[in-house]
Amino acid sequence: MEPIMVTVPPNTPYEERYSHPGEEFYFVVEGVLVFRIEGKEYLLNAGDSIHFPSEKLHEWKNPTNDEAVLISVLTPVIF
């Protein structure tokens, strides 16, 4: 597993869809993020988390005027 703290700038649109082997877990430390997984959107606020197979087509965006901070845990290690 690979844990990473990620800061997502304000008003970041969906940029690129990903699909790869493994699993992903995200915990929103602060801010708001929208995850789109296989076309379905999930709104996550601070304190929320999400877990899904990485093979599912996924992307995220920060639709707010504030930065968002999340903890990302991936397996296998891809970075």
Bridge partner residues of 36 (DSSP): 41, 59
CATH number for the domain spanning 9: value is: 2.60.120.10
Q: Which residues of the chain have pLDDT under 50?
A: none
User: Could you list the residue range(s) of the whole structural domain that residue 48 is in?
Assistant: 2-75
CA–CA gap between residue 34 and residue 7 (Å, rounded): 14
Domain count of the fold of the chain? 1
**Sign of the four-CA dihedral 25, 12, 16, 60:** positive
C-beta neighbour count of 38 within 10 angstroms = 11
pTM comes to 0.90
pLDDT of residue 69: 98
Residue 76: what pLDDT?
A: 82
